[in-house]
Structure 1
Amino acid sequence: MSDLLAGIDIGGTKIGVCLGNTSGQVLDARRFELERDADAGSVLDRAVALLEEMTAAAGAGRPVALGVPCPGPIDYATRSFVDPPNMPAWHGVAVVEELERRFEGPVAMMNDANATVLAEWQWGAAAGAGTVISLTMSTGKGAGFILGGHLFEGPLGLAGEIGHLRLHDDGPVGFGKRGSVEGYLSGPGMLQVAEAEARICRQTGEASDLLEGELTVERLCELARRDSAARRVTDRCADELGRLLALLVDVLNPEIVVLGTIGTAHFDLFEPGARAVIDRECIERAAKLVRITPSGLADRSSQSALAVAARAVGASDVH
């Protein structure tokens, strides 16, 4: 059997298309922007057309499976989206059914956080570990769990929807809930924290670059290295990350926590504060065991898709 695999990574703002193999090697990867209200069928048509173009250019035969990581929640019975908070136009779309009409071979769909922890366990920072938590920090906020060498998704596939957890009665909104994990630790949530800090600066007269120009997460993190107000924002988010992780560490006793996306790109801003909370709040032996690390994947979105495809054809060690 060929070891050529394909992936279509459905993100909140981008669609990724890739070719690779069962060793996690990415042979080709391309992306295009996803408009918030774009018709799902048209988007999938474009993604499959791009995949066909890449397959022809590779000249390595046909991929044997297609892996599709996407934001949750997912109804695994119908293999469709269920009210994805950042992608309203995709509610009810039966992604696997749609792609099976367009792709010859097995199509497997998986929550992106679960797909990421699968890839980290197979080829990345958590290779071979028994108990792993992997966190996504991007348009949304989710977690994937490897427990005792097994991917844990829950009976409805809803395990890891940590963005919905409430940390405080009030605060930034994410996943439709004030004070939620997603409100503090997703990209849009972090910008809400920054906007609140900017209002305080205006009221107190404190000079800050938060008050100037368009603010993105990338710019916020750059400012945090030289601007006191911006640093207060990232420190607050790091503290909330630590609160979340302290609960997960005490409950699951992981060996490794992988901070993905924003957490990888700006690991130095988030790990120290989170680590301090874990060391203060957790059972001492659990805190000493757990290691917090950035992603070990060269191309997270592509390799996550390949991990899902590999599992679909029995080429994954995680069950």
Structure 2
Amino acid sequence: MASESPGVSERLLCGLDIGGTKIGVAIGREDGALLAATSFPTDAGAHPEQLLAEALDRWRQLAVSLGGGDRPAAVGAACPGPVSTSLGRFLDPPNMPAWHGFPLMEWLAKRCAAPSAMMNDADASVLAEVNWGAARGARCAVFLTMSTGMGAGLYLGGDVYEGASSLAGEIGHIRLRDDGPVGFGKRGSVEGYLSGPGMVQVAQTEARGCIQTGEPSVLVELFQADTLTPEALCAAAVAGDAASRRVIERCATELGRLLALLVDLLNPEVIVLGTIGAAHPELFIPRAREVMMQEAIPHSARIVRIEPSPLSQRGHLAALAVALRAWERRDVSSG
């Protein structure tokens, strides 16, 4: 390998976890070691260039504090979709209008002079899982976000699969039922049942039913106090609240139907659950697996593993996985 230029932090990667509420900044090595990380709020009124400049400044401060140079060996960004990796820019991420059309790769090329790459957060997450997490070593894996939205990162045949225009894996838009909670602008959709806001919709419907029948439930208390969240729902289910457990079973059943679709279509080795599914695998995986085994091709269903993500700092590691990919695919002749 060509020697590093002066000031370059040898093999220290810069990961940018860009989100609508905060921007995470991570410094790590290619072995997945997260050396340091920080974050700061995403100011909705600030221009992306201002926020990114602050992110790089924070990375440099971390690198210098670790005894490294002030330039990263490679930069990776995990971004809210939709993005176009071929164009190197954001498309129109919801709730982030200032970022619509922003040419991230062009900006990084001017500011960093280092190999750089961007991916949507689901694709970045499946890459992190394959490198260091529950899908380590797999050649065919799926990551399900189960967060504010519901998307999938697809790793097929040994590489991330993005589709013709970087929009593969938008499974939240798939309709599971003709009616039901709304997600991705569609009733009865995957996102309606399996995103955090979607689960809250299912729980609200159950709480209204409890009020009508007079059934006492923690859900009713949470609903009336306007404190019904995915975390509160799961906590109530763990504590044994009957109505909460019915909500979880309903959502887990729809998760099982989704798993069956993915298994029949992709025949993956492993499907990894993020965020809500990772926090409470005992609530979701048994029922989801039961439904999947009933509905999927038997041989494919038998070999697939359904795993919670073990990566506690997944956002940072997802961004670092993208940086590592940029490093590995750099043009050595230009180094």
Indicate whether the TM-score tops 0.5.
yes
1:33 corresponds to 2:46: no
Paired residues, number: 316
Provide the alpha-carbon RMSD of the alignment: 2.0
C-alpha displacement of 1:280 = 0.6
Percent pairwise identity: 57
Where do 1:254-265 residues align within 5 Å?
254-265=268-279
Aligned equivalent of 1:239, options 250, 253, 263: 253
Aligned equivalent of 2:301, options 287, 290, 294: 287
Letter in 1 for 2:184: F
More moved, 20-29 vs 186-195: 186-195
C-alpha displacement of 1:259 = 0.7
Matches of 1:174 and 1:93 in 2, distance apart? 26
- CA deviation digits over 1:227-283, x for unaligned, max 9? 111111111111111111100101111111111111111111110111011111011
Which consecutive residues of structure 1, in runs of 5 or more, have no partner in the other structure? none
The answer as to whether partners of 2:267 and 2:300 remain within 8 angstroms in 1 is yes
Instruction: Name the residue aligned to 1:139.
Output: 148
Matches of 2:191 and 2:244 in 1, distance apart? 19
C-alpha displacement of 1:37 = 6.1
The answer as to whether partners of 2:151 and 2:170 remain within 8 angstroms in 1 is yes
The answer as to whether partners of 1:209 and 1:223 remain within 8 angstroms in 2 is yes
Aligned equivalent of 1:220, options 233, 241, 252: 233
1:16 corresponds to 2:24: yes
**TM-score between both structures, scaled by the size of structure 1:** 0.92
Matches of 1:237 and 1:36 in 2, distance apart? 33
SS of residue in 1 equivalent to 2:328: coil
Matches of 2:44 and 2:192 in 1, distance apart? 19
1:184 corresponds to 2:193: yes
The answer as to whether partners of 2:144 and 2:273 remain within 8 angstroms in 1 is yes
**TM-score between both structures, scaled by the size of structure 2:** 0.88
More moved, 281-290 vs 213-222: 213-222
C-alpha displacement of 1:36 = 5.7
Letter in 2 for 1:219: A
1:120 corresponds to 2:133: no
C-alpha displacement of 1:112 = 0.9
C-alpha displacement of 1:209 = 1.5
Instruction: Name the residue aligned to 1:278.
Output: 292
Matches of 2:110 and 2:185 in 1, distance apart? 34
Instruction: Name the residue aligned to 2:7.
Output: none
Aligned equivalent of 2:66, options 43, 55, 58: 58
Q: Tell which structure's C-alpha radius of gyration is larger.
A: 2
Matches of 1:245 and 1:85 in 2, distance apart? 26
Instruction: Name the residue aligned to 1:173.
Output: 182
Instruction: Name the residue aligned to 2:202.
Output: 193
Q: Identify if the C-alpha distance between structure 1 residues 181 and 90 changes in structure 2 by more than 3 Å, giving closer, same or farther.
A: farther
Aligned equivalent of 1:314, options 310, 317, 328: 328
- CA deviation digits over 1:279-317, x for unaligned, max 9? 11011111110111111324211111111001112179x
The answer as to whether partners of 1:5 and 1:21 remain within 8 angstroms in 2 is yes
The answer as to whether partners of 1:85 and 1:176 remain within 8 angstroms in 2 is no
Aligned equivalent of 2:280, options 250, 255, 266: 266
Letter in 2 for 1:215: L
More moved, 43-52 vs 194-203: 43-52
Letter in 1 for 2:83: I
Matches of 2:206 and 2:44 in 1, distance apart? 28
Which consecutive residues of structure 2, in runs of 5 or more, have no partner in the other structure? 5-9, 331-335
Q: Identify if the C-alpha distance between structure 1 residues 57 and 201 changes in structure 2 by more than 3 Å, giving closer, same or farther.
A: same
